[in-house]
Chain A
Amino acid sequence: MTVDQISSAADRSSAATDTGRAPATAGPRISMTARRHRAFYLFTSPWIIGFLLLTVTPMGYALWLSFTTFDGISPNWKYVGLDNYRELLNDPVTWGALGRAGLFAVTSVPLSIIAGLALAVLVNRPLKARGLFRTLLYLPAVVPPVGAGLAFKLLFDPNSGATNGVVTFFGFEAIGWLADPYARYVLLMTVLWAAGNVMIISLAGLQDVPRELHEAACIDGASAWRTFRSITVPLLSPVLLFQTVTGMIASVQTIMPLLLAPLGDTSGITTVPQSNYLYMMHVFAQYFALGRYGYASALLWVLFVLILIATGLIFRFTSGAVFYNVDPEAKK
């Protein structure tokens, strides 16, 4: 049987199935549509199984826990309905942690996007040793967070760290970087330090901007800033939207303060300076220090819903500003 014959047989079979008639040949036949369905499910099944096993199951379990007082090992835990959610709504510590997490997100996300985009624009220019610069700027993003946390801790040691060495060299008083209120700035710096991640994605976006548009703008006499504002940024808007959404999700879930915890060890999870006591640290403390699995699970579910809402709002309010360069025919 030739390839053409196979193809025409499959088409006949498909047509027969689609019209509801039995296939002309005897025996079980598989239509092309069925084959496609089977192939789809076969190829996606590892992900679907993983999703069910590692995402849906734990989330469902956490949802169940959020209605209980389960603490891991105590014998008398019980179902308490919505009590954990009620407590959460009236817990000023939770609201404080949520507020700090929100503030951290609205500060760190724009700053890291701007920093990453600026770096991308710089290393997109035809420079000598451009590859080396790109590598060097991206390196911090691949440093393990624990290593980065320890390095920052030593760098900002108020008594023997290099940062205060510089500060005192210029005649200023040393600053207690790792305690309130400065700890929040150190945290922000750790995020900006790893802006190479944002840079790489922005760089990919920049290289997708058609050169002829820049050339046309140049011929029309547009300045570099005007070209950047009116051509580059709109064409990069889907990338910027992606970075905003993923950045927001990552920043509200940050646990980097753990690495900056001053006293370390088992109590390290709870010795984060107050200004860095973000929502996920609160969740972490509820789970692992206070043993309140039920309450912590409720906190996580609330965070999940809030992230969904925030993502929806971002999409809604940016829908007019994001320019999708998609061929309408390709949608079919």
Chain B
Amino acid sequence: MHTQAGAPVSRRRFLALSAGGAAAGAAALSGCAMQVSTGVSGSGETVTVMVNSGDILPEQVQQAKKDLGIKIVLVKYDITKLIAMLTSGNPPDLVRGVGAEDLPFFAARDVAENLDPYFARSRVLKEDDLDPVNDLWRYDGRTQGKGPRYGMAKDFSQDSMYWYNTAAFDKGGADYPPETGPVTYEEWLDNAKRLVQRKSGQTTVFGGSFNGLTRSTLLATMTAAAGGSLFNDDFSRVDFTAPEARKALAWYIDYCKTKVGPSLIQPDPNGWDGPTFQAGRLAMSNSGYWLGGMIYPDKKLAAVSRLAPAPIFAGGERISACQGGTGLWMPRGAKNKDAAWRVFEWFFGEEPAKARASGGWGIPTLKSLRSLMPAQEEYQKRVLKVQENELKHFSVVSFTPYTRADALDALFNQIAPAAMNGQISVDTLAGRLNSAFNEQMKRGKEQVG
């Protein structure tokens, strides 16, 4: 039936037309919003890279266009946007990710590209030049650290290492921690208790901060340091009641209870240790080597800042893991993989990598770039010596592929404050964490198949 020209539009027909228009509009909008990788653009190729601001600088984008002939389009990293782009079949060509926690999740869901063939023929990124930290980006379908490479870390730190402020130690009358051997976690906490400064109930100087990158990677690392494993063999369950995991959990809850440092029940409004340490209001910070990038430009701060090895548990293993290993991975659905790989090589092995290495913001992930780490000043040499010694104890602590670390943190943060406030025991907390974590991972395992 055709509507006559000029005849009134019926409500039914109008709604049908509107719905049609809406559907067409939705399709068009979806196409506009998601179609970010065009593959070829003008004379050169275009590669879409989803990163945080500062990961790739605008001048580096210009330089890449000049040197590689590839146009880089930067998209701000956002997990929901990434999922939308992956779901719609138009993912970015390269994506930022935290190797320690993101890689197993994405690799297990088969959305990450196996980069082994690219590494095999690369003249920039050679297998024997790759630092072991890049194993965080390997996954064999079961365990992180083994199998094909899905990405690479841009730089790294051993995140349980901690910086300390010698002025705060002098004021607190505590001995400086040894630079070659580790203190125990108990000794670290004793120091923090001694160094904390309070006035009228206000903490003017935190004794120490020990929160890790996420609570779940921190607890996994600490459990490994205590000689155990937070996850079972197939990474589908946790057990906080196991002696090693309980030891780690009890220590962390004790740290929060004593309020010597920032935690859920005593938040630091700065959100992270950097500004607080810079202001001289933090005696120890477990931030790892990368904090040097913030410390070195401030000569006064650099003069009183030293790096110490990761603590150990009495009787436990000396391990010093990386809880981050932030880098890039390539989605399987990337439209322009060859050009993306060229950008990958440039980002990890050429100018940007060299600039990062000399900035002190992290340890380069290519052994050949180690010589660029800052060592001009006396304090830099000292830090470097401690760091080089610590590298001997590096290890990969595998994470579960069945959920993201954020999810476990969300559950931890809901359940743990009661224990931090002394309302429930560590054993009760362990039981509750087991239930919540295992339920979340069970759902993830069902979905991965």
Contacts and interface: CB of A to CB of B under 8 A. Distances in A.
B268 A262 contact: yes
Top 3 A-B pairs, shortest CB-CB distance:
A262-B267, A264-B271, A34-B8
A48 B9 CA distance: 15
A288 B266 contact: no
B119 interface: no
B264 A69 contact: no
Most chain B CB atoms below 10 A, which of A53, A56, A180: A53
A45 to B, nearest CB: 7
13 contacts: A29-B6, A38-B8, A74-B444, A74-B447, A75-B109, A157-B269, A262-B269, A271-B413, A273-B264, A274-B414, A288-B79, A288-B406, A289-B407
Contacts of A34: 7-8
Contacts of A38: 8-9
Interface string A160-186: 110010001000111110111000000
B242 interface: no
A37 interface: yes
Contacts, number: 165
Given A173-B201, A262-B262, A290-B403, 9 more contacts: A28-B7, A57-B26, A72-B87, A73-B87, A158-B266, A160-B202, A179-B265, A270-B414, A277-B414
Contacts of A180: 265, 417, 421
Interface residues of B, number: 61
Contacts of A69: 443, 446-447
A77 B22 contact: no
Contacts of A49: 18, 21-22, 25
A289 B22 contact: no
B424 interface: no
A134 interface: no
B200 interface: yes
Nearest to B19: A52
A203 B352 CA distance: 58
A267 interface: yes
Contacts of B185: none
Contacts of B444: 71, 74
Contacts of A76: 446-449
Nearest to A74: B447
Interface string A28-50: 11110110011001000100110
A48 B20 CA distance: 12
A220 interface: no
B440 interface: yes
B358 interface: no
B202 A168 contact: yes
Contacts of B414: 93, 270, 274, 277
A72 B83 CA distance: 6
Interface string B1-36: 000111111000011001101100110010000000
